[in-house]
Every structure is written in C-alpha cells, then in structure tokens.
Amino acid sequence: MSVRELEPQIIWNHFEDLNAVPRPSKREEKIRQFMIDFGKNLGLETIEDEIGNVVIKKAATAGMEDRETVILQSHIDMVHQKNADTNFDFDTQGIESFIDGDWVKAKGTTLGADNGMGVAATMSLLSSTDIPHPALEALFTIDEETGMTGAKHLNSGMLSGKILLNLDTEDDDEFSVGCAGGIDTNVSYAYQEEAVPADYAAFKVSLRGLKGGHSGMDIHLGRGNANLMMNRILYAISQTVDVRISELEGGSLRNAIPRESFGVIVCPQSEAQNVEKIFNETATLVKGEYSINEPSLEVKIEAASELPARMIEKSDLERLLRAVYTTPNGVWKMSEKIPGLVETSSSLAKIVFKEGKFISMSLQRSMIESGKMDVANAIRLVYEQIGAEVEQGGDYPGWAPNPNSRILKVLENQYKSMFNEDPKVAACHAGLECGILGKHLPSCDMISFGPTIRNPHSPDEKVNIASVQKFWTFLKKVIENTPSKN
C-alpha cells in the first residue's frame, strides 16, 4: 500500500502533494506559489502579504453564516535534516515517504509532518464539498522553524476571525494552551592558525547515531548532544597530549538537538597512539553513560589519508574547549506551577571550527521572559569572557494560557463526547506561533492541537497513521460546532 492509499485519503494525498515541493525555511518560494495556485484553482480568495504569508478564504456553508469565522493556521516551511549517509538534495527533491507498520516515515530525511499534517488538513477543509463549516480563513505562515518571521511580520488586516486553531501540536490527545518563548545566541571567535608540522599525524573523528529531535519538546528526555560529547572527548585528550583541531563541525539547525559531529584533528606523530587510546577510552565512558537513551551512538577515530595544512593555535583551542564545556545545555529549570513542564532550557545546536573561525549557535527557551534571559545571559557571559563576539536575536514571546477560553471548552466537550475520555490540556516547551500571533490578533481565542508526531526535526520523524484519522474526524466536528458570533 502507498501513503496516498491511507485513510483519510484526502489528507494523505494533500500531504504527499506538499512533500513533492521543496520547502526549507527561508527558501519558501516554491511552496508559497504552490499554496497560491492551490487557492486560486479552487476559486477561493487568495492573498499573499508583504512577508510571504498566504491566506485563503472560504465562505461559510449554508446555515453556518452566524458562526464565528475560524482561522486555521499552520506553517508551510519544514526542518530539513538528513542522515550523513543519505544522498538527498532538499532544494530539488521531494520527500520520499513510506509506511512502516503504524507509522509514516521518510527515507533518511525529516518527514515534514511538522507542520505538513496541519497544512494538509487545512487544504482538505478548503477543497472539500461536503463538510459543513463557518467562514474559514486559512493562514499559512512562512519561516516558523528558523525565526517565526512570517508570524512576526503578519499583515493582520487580512484576517477577521475571532477563533484561531493552530494545527501544530504533536499528541492527538493533547490541547496546547500556552508555549515557551525563545531567543538565539550566536557566537563567533576568530582564532589563530598555525601550519601543521610535517611530523604530525592526522585523524578523522566522527560521532553519529544520536536520536536528536526537537530542542523544545525533547529537551527533557536525556538525549545526547553531539557537540558536547565530541568536545568532552577532545578536552580529555588535550589534558595529556598537544592535540589540535584542523576542522570540526557538529549539528545543523538551531532548533534541533545535534545528532552528529565530524572533524579532523592532528597531533605529534609520537603521541598518535596515546591520542587514539584516550579518544577510545573517553568514548567508551560516554557510550556507557548513554547506553539506555542512545543505544545507536557510534564514536570513531581513524587515520586520515592526508595531513591538513592548518591547525588551531594551542591557547585558542584551550579557551574554546573550556567555553564549550561550560556552555549551559539542557533543562535549566522546571516549572513550579505546572508539574512535569520544562520552564527554561537551552540547546547548543551547532558548532564549527573552520578556516580560523569558530561559531556556535544555541537556542534558549522559557515559559517566562525572565527565565529566558537568565539562561541567555549565562551563555553570553561564558563567551564574552574569552573575547568572543556574541549576538542575541530572533527573540519571540511565549503564549500565556487563557483560563476563560471559549474554544477550549468547545474542544474539551467535543473530545469527551467523541472519545469518552478527558483530553490533556497543557502548555508546551516548544515555540508555537500563537504567542506572536496573539500580539497581532489580540481579540482572537487560540488553541493548538494535531495528530501524533514523534522525533520531529530529525530523520527519525514519523506520524502515527491512526492518529491522523482521529485528528481529521475531530477537526471536522470542531469546525461543525464552532460557537455563534454572539
């Protein structure tokens, strides 16, 4: 069976159509045009604002004109990640999805269910001819994954709805009513390089096989950070041997837990055996510590075929290894108000040593503004102390729960009626667009929900087939039972 044959076919076919279009963050030209053509081909009013968000409007069906207009909101960009051994060009190729038991996955890449399932569900409502609904305003935002640019620069004059359904939550039994805000901390440091002596040995080092995942939703799961693991190993070697980095790179995207790190290191030929020994001993310790959470972790050192020309100067390497080692990462504070909720965190997402320049990218998240800035300041101070340049930006607010939400009551009652159980109502540690959208649409009653998705932002991303059916059935009922304008 192909993915297109799954039920409900209307959603899976729209999802596959989406996945045929490259849609990386900040390069959404193709997917924006795809959405514009989709709306116009249906004969629906289709608008694009100055930043590139697309709105498609559909009039209410007969008898539903007195209901509140509903904004259906999802983002059209996706995280592009692939395994190191996967040959794939995200700019030209469509995602290759397949069925694996109860799940749909992609071949060696991210699947794009985040937030493609929300987009596909909205497309399904827009293209349907037999589903009763109030007036709909489908808002497709750009660049959610790398800065929420679309939400920040939304032309709110395009929208009149008073209810907003964000379809970007990843458990089919959960409604999100609040989320964390975030800020990026980017570091750069120009280090001195030296020529590699002819009597030096070179090694290729690699660390791969980590689970990675979403740096908000998965930050509390105890998963390994490739950047910190590799740094720990190299620091251990540097305490005994004059090891140097020629080049090193780990991680890729600001909002994904780094899964891999690769590089080339050098040392005096006389110390080569000692370098291999300490590398392997430390790697064994790390793998032992993560044997439960990261069973697929692989750490390797092997002789390089060529000696590189340049290496980092020793004192600069010492400064940087120590700074990375002390960079806050993981859960900073748990919420005192909501049991089990991460309040504040940070993820060291990317590190590069190359051609005399060190860069790092990290993302701090918090449910409260002061907590976000607390951990962001801690990281800034670590790197300012070694003379690095630190830039903090991409700041976006959290979304405070509304205890008097009308649409929450509608969804709770509908869920209990359909599934004979109470849904989970919670805030999440991910950065949803609702916090930003609320500033543009202050009178909007907002809630977020969606199908069950696991391991977003990694090549292990998957969406549960049965949950898509559940989500679609529920969404249709919610749309049919939206409150009146009174």
258 close to 297: Cβ distance less than 8 angstroms: no
Q: Which of 16, 48, 49, 77 is catalytic?
A: 77
Q: Which residue has the tokens 């609040």?
A: 178
Residue type, 178: G
Prediction pTM value: 0.78
pLDDT of residue 403: 76
Compute the mean pLDDT over every residue in the chain, rounded to the nearest whole number. Answer: 95
Structure confidence by residue, pLDDT tens digits, 262-271 = 999 999 999 9
Cβ burial, residue 146 (10 Å; 0-12/13-18/19+): middle
Determine whether 77 is an active site residue: yes
- 451 Rama class: left (phi>0) / alpha (psi -120 to 50) / beta: beta
Domains of the chain by start residue, with CATH: 3-179+398-480 (3.40.630.10), 183-396 (3.30.70.360)
What is the DSSP annotation of 416-477? HHHHSSPPEEEEESS--THHHHHHH-TT-EEEE----EESTTSTT-EEEHHHHHHHHHHHHH
What pLDDT is attached to residue 79? 92
422 included as an active-site residue: no
pLDDT digits (tens, 9 = 90+) for 3-42: 999 999 999 999 999 999 999 999 999 999 999 999 999 9
Q: Which of 144, 294, 433, 461 is catalytic?
A: 144
394 pLDDT tier (thresholds 50, 70, 90): confident
